[in-house]
Amino acid sequence: KAGVTQTPRYLIKTRGQQVTLSCSPISGHRSVSWYQQTPGQGLQFLFEYFSETQRNKGNFPGRFSGRQFSNSRSEMNVSTLELGDSALYLCASSRDGQGQETQYFGPGTRLLVL
Amino acid sequence: AQSVTQPDIHITVSEGASLELRCNYSYGATPYLFWYVQSPGQGLQLLLKYFSGDTLVQGIKGFEAEFKRSQSSFNLRKPSVHWSDAAEYFCAVVSRSGGYQKVTFGTGTKLQVIP
């Protein structure tokens, strides 16, 4: 079974631009979560989608948004990029996003904002 | 609110030595606890998890962890470290909030293995 895939793996943008990251979950998984990882803040939860609906959201500004499609693939968008948005963005999938389930992580997209 | 503390930011051990990585959590009920490992530039890989039952859980790559409710701890151990274990390790607590997962990660412990 294929794992979680994320595209692109690396991205360079400039301040003020916007970016869209993509995540394809493991087949059969309907829950997709997004995390931002930085050296200073560690792993921070962005949001979780289940059946095309955002179910849970972390403490990030509205510049960070996402969506999920009917095939469970998810995209994350960051508008008006800031230098501080440089990070590794990880997505994780699980079957239903319930407490006991394991989240399977993708390799991440490394975003550099110049 | 739940929280996870990994008090050791960086640990160095010799190859073949034993390892213990500390994790303390704060959560009102019985938590779901996970340990993940992250190699440089990679995503997170699950090492082991605890939900209930036997408080000593075995994971992949020879790792084990023990849940101690009285100490609110879930420390990760390995009897003999290999050079390939050099990576960053994250403890996570998962709770249910409104029927879905809320995952909180610790800040991570970087493990360096010296020959």
Cα gap B93→A28, rounded to integer Å:
24
For range A94-100, the mean pLDDT: 79
Q: What's the pLDDT band for A59 if we cut at 50, 70, 90?
A: confident
Cα gap A96→A62, rounded to integer Å:
25
* Best mutation target, B48, B100, B102, B110, to test chain A (most A CBs within 10 A): B100
* Secondary element (H or E) of residue A46: strand A42-50
Whether pLDDT at B40 is above 90: no
* Best mutation target, A32, A34, A100, to test chain B (most B CBs within 10 A): A100
Strands A5-7 and A19-24, how do they pair? Answer: antiparallel
User: For residue A80, what pLDDT is reported?
Assistant: 96
**Cβ-nearest to A98 among B42, B101, B106:** B101
Single-letter amino acid, residue A32: V
User: For residue B99, what pLDDT is reported?
Assistant: 57
A100 — contact with chain B (CB < 8 Å)? yes
Whether pLDDT at A27 is above 90: yes
Query: Which residues lie across from A10 on neighbouring strands?
Result: A110
Cα gap B43→B39, rounded to integer Å:
7
Whether pLDDT at B93 is above 60: yes
For range A57-79, the mean pLDDT: 95
Whether pLDDT at B67 is above 60: yes
Q: What's the pLDDT band for A56 if we cut at 50, 70, 90?
A: confident
pLDDT tens for residues A6-17? Answer: 999 999 999 999
User: For residue A99, what pLDDT is reported?
Assistant: 66
